[in-house]
Amino acid sequence: MSGLTGYDSRGETIPDTFDAQLRNVWALLGSALDAARMGYADLVSLRFVLTSADFDSVNVDILAEHLRATHAARTVMVQELVAGHEVVDGCGISGLSG
């Protein structure tokens, strides 16, 4: 599964804060896993693309809330915009067990 964004479940509104956006991502992921009769414990690999390293501590806290004792490989990439350069962004959560 890849390309999850911080928009609400209808894809209409994006919150102003990173933590609210990230909570939307986890809610969408949880819904998709539920539909597949799976849960967060079935995740084995996670990849995050952040626009600032400053967001990582919130990312870790919210990740811990959802995964609890589940151990999944985690990759975090930080892509900060530099004046005059364009950044191609991509993210994904892959490797479901089961």
Q: Which long-range contacts (CB under 8 A, 24 or more apart) does 14-17 make?
A: none
Contact 62, 22 (CB under 8 A): yes
Residue-level pLDDT at 23: 93
Residue-level pLDDT at 70: 81
Tokens of 92: 């994904």
Residue-level pLDDT at 22: 92
Contact 78, 54 (CB under 8 A): no
Residue-level pLDDT at 61: 93
Query: What does the pLDDT look like over 36-95, one tens digit per residue?
Result: 999 999 999 999 888 888 999 999 999 999 988 888 888 898 887 665 555 445 445 444
| Range list of H helices, the chain | 18-35, 56-67
Query: What does the pLDDT look like over 2-53, one tens digit per residue?
Result: 888 888 888 888 888 999 999 999 999 999 999 999 999 999 999 988 888 8
Residue-level pLDDT at 31: 93
pTM of the predicted model as reported, rounded to 2 decimal places: 0.76
